[in-house]
A and B are shown apart, each in its own frame.
Chain A
């Protein structure tokens, strides 16, 4: 199961848990399963089948570039954070 950490503003939707354990072998499956657990949360994370603009999905140690196609191994941590660009 992936461990999903949500941005602060979404934690109230998920009963203020530090993280939620969600089944899924890809980021898409995890988000869909999360939406089944907390209906409507997908709209905060995804638009037009892509990670929402301004958000970054960290899978494991680093921001994924595969979007919803990112494969996830057992116990991978998934963090949704504000996107960052550099100089």
Chain B
């Protein structure tokens, strides 16, 4: 056993409570500073010229008129990247082409040039003066088109890695495979085999705050950045790489983030703003994407095809499973196939498994992470087939899953064994829930009703995090942490520190400093932050306690062996009169050797695996095909809920996004390969009026890898809704819909076909 399993703390004072969040007042009063709020002296604006076609060669870019325009400072094209970064390797060079196209445009909205000017309108006008001549090529809009024999090849120099074999002239950037046992043999012992194929459309995270960047490249070749991001260090490192600087030449200043969900783990504007700043005489440059550009040119979640074949015995056991998933990478390689392949069958103990996963380039924006990237798509397919199996065999849908559920020691399809997990406990909580036990409404005139259930898995991340603590003279604690706070992690980390120190959460004052003022901390993503940065906080708290004990021995002039810390107080084990609270010690600690502070950095293995379940009741209007979710319950193993309201809100948010993905959201492409619904008016995300009060059941099976049992929370809840809704729709209308979104048009088509 290489991992350390911690003895779990059971009795908590702070953990499990809901204190006033530290960023609450700033957020609700509008005082909080977001990227667009940042103002600097002599600030100028940048704007981007974007491709008007989905696929084409760039024959020429004429920037002469724009450069002559009054108020314009600089114009940049891909050549400017190459001038600044002559040594870029193949992968970096390709990423640079996504930031600013080189010789081809690969999606509508692909950045071609950028302009800086005295104000935003002047920059926009200058963009209109830039003439780009294209040789238009046939677009490749989905994986089926990309895999056709005579499909246009998007990237000429792409060498595909097909199970380790190098392949030229291909749109398949990568194929990976997981194999356990012998599926042929497994299916021979199956009493029922169900095989189905599912299609999914590309969807966007839909964060409210668009991408933004302010960059100031100064005369000393130092770059200062402000940008809405899930990772200040990632913005620093990625931008430095793109513009040919080293990390120490770049400082990222954190700002609040108005939603990311994985989509703000990449950079789009910071390198452009940086180069414009340099070329504009070292003036700071501000850029903000408009909503249309966010849809067209920032990374969405992949659509694609998922084919599933599952075999079971009459006794209700899986015998074999095959999954073939093909994801749209977008314009450049790198979709979430590895996660999709790992997650697709991870909920169940299946002895014989074969999973093939393909990363396919298409003429759409390069995809990015979106909450549990890859898992919702594969879960939609697998959990739908399981639903069909249960109906054909007349099995209880929860009992069948419990009968096959992964538990400690189960080997996933990728070969890895599970540590302690809580999937069975989560299924049992679903079975005993009020929702599952309550009757479904009966058909009434043109309203039909259905209930669905489905499950999901995410492995949760670990990685590098740093926390610094400083004891103030008044006994309160300043906490600096390096993680971008996208979901309340300032408070969840502070609460873990407060618990360790035996003080209230309000006495911790968290902040997120710039990247020169805190140790490296990985991006907030993969549900890693409360686990990993919280762990760093615990280590820093333990170091602080050690130092405070040492100082108390100096103050009392006693031996270090005679001292004890408990519940926020320091005692002499020999003299009951010697007792100080942290606050009392802080008032005198200066005399014992100056201020007390601590720092801790960790680099943790991946976190505790998370499982979730959705149960939903829907109503379908058979005249309009509209689906209304009338009840939705999310059940999830959260390890230990540090701040239960935050945990519940993460789960509600994930479920809401999954419901939108299931019912309405899609990149709607025309025959020229162009997205035609690139606004929130036409890209139909659910609002609060579209959703019921989502009920949450927290299951707490402690993660043995964390002293408080923390598991990541934010990814899992988006996984079950797609299949949950699909299964409910089938229950309501008697026919399965094999593609997302399962919108009114598709439902009406099914109903009209009888």
| CB proximity of A25 to chain B, nearest CB, Å | 11
Query: Across the interface, do A81 and B414 meet the contact criterion of CB distance under 8 Å?
Result: yes
Give the total number of A-B pairs whose CB atoms are below 8 A apart. Answer: 108
CB neighbours (8 Å) of B459 from chain A are 84
CB closest chain-A residue, reference B260: A87
Q: Scoring B residues 493 to 515 as 1 if CB is less than 8 Å from chain A, else 0, what string do you get?
A: 00000000000000000000000
Known pairs A84-B339, A87-B265, A87-B715; A79 contacts B415 (CB<8 A) = yes
Interface stretch of the complex, out of B65-73, B365-373, B425-433? B365-373
CB closest chain-A residue, reference B461: A86
Asked if B176 CB lies within 8 Å of chain A CBs, one says yes
Query: Across the interface, do B715 and A61 meet the contact criterion of CB distance under 8 Å?
Result: no
Query: Across the interface, do A9 and B164 meet the contact criterion of CB distance under 8 Å?
Result: yes
CB neighbours (8 Å) of B262 from chain A are 86-87
Q: Scoring B residues 313 to 333 as 1 if CB is less than 8 Å from chain A, else 0, what string do you get?
A: 000000000000000000000
Query: Across the interface, do B458 and A76 meet the contact criterion of CB distance under 8 Å?
Result: no
CB neighbours (8 Å) of B265 from chain A are 85, 87
A79–B413 CA distance with the chains assembled, in angstroms = 12
Query: Across the interface, do A70 and B415 meet the contact criterion of CB distance under 8 Å?
Result: no
Query: Across the interface, do A86 and B373 meet the contact criterion of CB distance under 8 Å?
Result: yes
CB neighbours (8 Å) of B2 from chain A are 59-60, 64, 70-73, 76
A63–B261 CA distance with the chains assembled, in angstroms = 23
Q: Scoring B residues 521 to 563 as 1 if CB is less than 8 Å from chain A, else 0, what string do you get?
A: 0000111100000000000000000000000000000000000
Asked if B28 CB lies within 8 Å of chain A CBs, one says no
Asked if B464 CB lies within 8 Å of chain A CBs, one says yes
A65's contact among B178, B341, B604, by CB below 8 Å, is which?
B604
Query: Across the interface, do B605 and A63 meet the contact criterion of CB distance under 8 Å?
Result: yes
Query: Across the interface, do B163 and A9 meet the contact criterion of CB distance under 8 Å?
Result: yes
A5–B339 CA distance with the chains assembled, in angstroms = 18
Known pairs A81-B416, A85-B369; A62 contacts B3 (CB<8 A) = yes
Known pairs A86-B461, A86-B525; A62 contacts B177 (CB<8 A) = no
Query: Across the interface, do B527 and A86 meet the contact criterion of CB distance under 8 Å?
Result: yes
B176's contact among A7, A60, A71, by CB below 8 Å, is which?
A7
Asked if A8 CB lies within 8 Å of chain B CBs, one says yes
CB neighbours (8 Å) of A71 from chain B are 2
Q: Quick one: which of B192-209 are within 8 Å of A by CB?
A: 205
| CB proximity of A32 to chain B, nearest CB, Å | 18
| CB proximity of A35 to chain B, nearest CB, Å | 17
| CB proximity of A50 to chain B, nearest CB, Å | 13
Query: Across the interface, do B1 and A73 meet the contact criterion of CB distance under 8 Å?
Result: yes
CB closest chain-B residue, reference A58: B416
CB closest chain-B residue, reference A27: B2
A9's contact among B177, B372, B461, B525, by CB below 8 Å, is which?
B177
CB neighbours (8 Å) of B370 from chain A are 87
CB neighbours (8 Å) of B462 from chain A are 62-63, 65
| CB proximity of B657 to chain A, nearest CB, Å | 11
Query: Across the interface, do B176 and A62 meet the contact criterion of CB distance under 8 Å?
Result: no
Asked if A77 CB lies within 8 Å of chain B CBs, one says yes
Chain A residues touching B, range: 20 to 34
A9–B464 CA distance with the chains assembled, in angstroms = 30
Query: Across the interface, do A62 and B415 meet the contact criterion of CB distance under 8 Å?
Result: no
Query: Across the interface, do A8 and B179 meet the contact criterion of CB distance under 8 Å?
Result: yes
Q: Quick one: which of B129-188 are within 8 Å of A by CB?
A: 163-165, 176-179
Asked if A37 CB lies within 8 Å of chain B CBs, one says no
Asked if B419 CB lies within 8 Å of chain A CBs, one says yes
> How many chain B residues have a CB neighbour from A under 8 Å?
50
A10–B527 CA distance with the chains assembled, in angstroms = 31
CB neighbours (8 Å) of A84 from chain B are 336, 338-339, 342, 459, 526
B525's contact among A58, A76, A87, by CB below 8 Å, is which?
A87
Known pairs A84-B342, A86-B715, A87-B261; A62 contacts B419 (CB<8 A) = yes
CB neighbours (8 Å) of B263 from chain A are 87
Asked if B400 CB lies within 8 Å of chain A CBs, one says no
Query: Across the interface, do A62 and B526 meet the contact criterion of CB distance under 8 Å?
Result: no
Query: Across the interface, do B338 and A8 meet the contact criterion of CB distance under 8 Å?
Result: no
Query: Across the interface, do A5 and B415 meet the contact criterion of CB distance under 8 Å?
Result: yes
A64–B205 CA distance with the chains assembled, in angstroms = 30
A59–B165 CA distance with the chains assembled, in angstroms = 26
A81's contact among B342, B461, B528, B604, by CB below 8 Å, is which?
B342
Query: Across the interface, do B369 and A62 meet the contact criterion of CB distance under 8 Å?
Result: no
A71–B373 CA distance with the chains assembled, in angstroms = 30
CB closest chain-A residue, reference B343: A84
Q: Scoring B residues 407 to 419 as 1 if CB is less than 8 Å from chain A, else 0, what string do you get?
A: 0000000111111
CB neighbours (8 Å) of B607 from chain A are 62
Known pairs A8-B163, A63-B462, A64-B2; A87 contacts B369 (CB<8 A) = yes
| CB proximity of A82 to chain B, nearest CB, Å | 4
CB neighbours (8 Å) of A87 from chain B are 205, 261-263, 265, 369-373, 525-526, 715
Query: Across the interface, do A61 and B419 meet the contact criterion of CB distance under 8 Å?
Result: yes
A64–B1 CA distance with the chains assembled, in angstroms = 12
Most chain B beta carbons < 10 A, residue from A8, A66, A73, A86: A86
CB neighbours (8 Å) of A60 from chain B are 1-3, 419
A53–B164 CA distance with the chains assembled, in angstroms = 14
Query: Across the interface, do B525 and A85 meet the contact criterion of CB distance under 8 Å?
Result: yes
CB neighbours (8 Å) of B418 from chain A are 61
Query: Across the interface, do B416 and A79 meet the contact criterion of CB distance under 8 Å?
Result: yes
A83–B341 CA distance with the chains assembled, in angstroms = 11
Asked if B384 CB lies within 8 Å of chain A CBs, one says no
Query: Across the interface, do B606 and A63 meet the contact criterion of CB distance under 8 Å?
Result: yes
A83–B463 CA distance with the chains assembled, in angstroms = 13
A86–B528 CA distance with the chains assembled, in angstroms = 9
CB neighbours (8 Å) of A83 from chain B are 338
| CB proximity of B495 to chain A, nearest CB, Å | 22
CB neighbours (8 Å) of A7 from chain B are 164, 176
Asked if B229 CB lies within 8 Å of chain A CBs, one says no
Most chain B beta carbons < 10 A, residue from A65, A66, A77, A87: A87
CB neighbours (8 Å) of A44 from chain B are 164
A83–B461 CA distance with the chains assembled, in angstroms = 11
| CB proximity of B185 to chain A, nearest CB, Å | 14
Query: Across the interface, do B464 and A65 meet the contact criterion of CB distance under 8 Å?
Result: yes
Asked if B705 CB lies within 8 Å of chain A CBs, one says yes
Q: Scoring A residues 1 to 21 as 1 if CB is less than 8 Å from chain B, else 0, what string do you get?
A: 000010111100000000000
CB neighbours (8 Å) of B414 from chain A are 79, 81
Known pairs A9-B177, A79-B416, A86-B461; A62 contacts B605 (CB<8 A) = yes
| CB proximity of A22 to chain B, nearest CB, Å | 15
- Can you list 7 A-B contacts with CB-CB less than 8 angstroms, sorted by A residue number? A8-B178, A9-B177, A60-B1, A63-B606, A73-B2, A82-B341, A86-B528
**What would 6 more interface pairs be, CB under 8 Å, given A79-B414, A84-B459?**
A7-B176, A61-B417, A65-B462, A79-B416, A85-B461, A87-B369
